[in-house]
Amino acid sequence: MAARRAVEQELTRQMIIDVAHELFVEEGYQNVSMRKIARSLGYSHGAIYYHFKNKADLLTAMVDQDFAMINNEIDKLDHLNMKNEEKLRQLLLGYIQFGVNHKHHYEVMFMIRDKEVNSHTMESPNKSYYRFSKKVAELTNNQLPVTVIWSVFLMLHGFVAQYCRTDQSYENIRGLAETHVHLILRAINN
């Protein structure tokens, strides 16, 4: 019956992205249908196609947003007033904190594996890693070989990837995260 809705309850791209985000990570990109997203929003599936070209387009928009968040997080460090050693600790701990606090985002960003996902979607993680590694290099006075920086990243990734699959809050595992970062710092400080 009812076709268009009153303007104060119109669907937006952001509403769709938010709902899809939760579903994608809880159940996996493949297991979430456009119909399921729509049902979850209380709209019909056709409506989503008014806002996004198709399912992959929705994912791309979502991932772009997520990477903007993490890049932003890295840039925040510049305005902090502490010495490099402490900034580095903050960067590493902040990475874990971001990952654990935004499990959905992190998983979508770094852990979706799917043929359908176009190559554009794969560029963002690379650009984001580049930003991260430049910052680590800077904060260590360019003393670290690139392979070591890469290892550091993988160590962080391992932590976050694991806790993405649990319901633990960051507060809950802060101690473990600090141990982890402490170990990483010990590994790279001569």
Partner DNA sequence: CCCCTTTTTAACCAGTGTTCAATTAAATAT
Partner DNA sequence: ATATTTAATTGAACACTGGTTAAAAAGGGG
Q: Compute the least distance from the CB of residue 40 to DNA, in Å.
A: 11
C-beta of 142: minimal distance to DNA in Å?
A: 45
Of 18, 40, 56, 151, which one interacts with DNA (CB under 7 A)? Answer: 56
Rounded distance between C-alpha atoms, residue 59 and residue 147, angstroms = 31
> Does 175 engage in binding with DNA (CB under 7 A)?
no
Q: Which of residues 18, 40, 49, 117 is near DNA by CB under 7 A?
A: 49
* Rounded (5°) CA angle 162-171-188: 60
Closest alpha carbon to 102 in 16, 25, 46: 25
C-alpha distances in angstroms, 120 versus 81, 114, 116?
A: 36, 13, 11
Radius of gyration of the chain (CA): 19
User: Mask of contacts with a second copy, 143-162, x by CB under 8 A?
Assistant: ----xx-xxx-xxxxxx-xx
| Binding interface with a second copy (CB under 8 A) | 27-28, 30-31, 113-115, 147-148, 150-152, 154-159, 161-162, 165, 175-176, 179-180, 183-184, 186-188
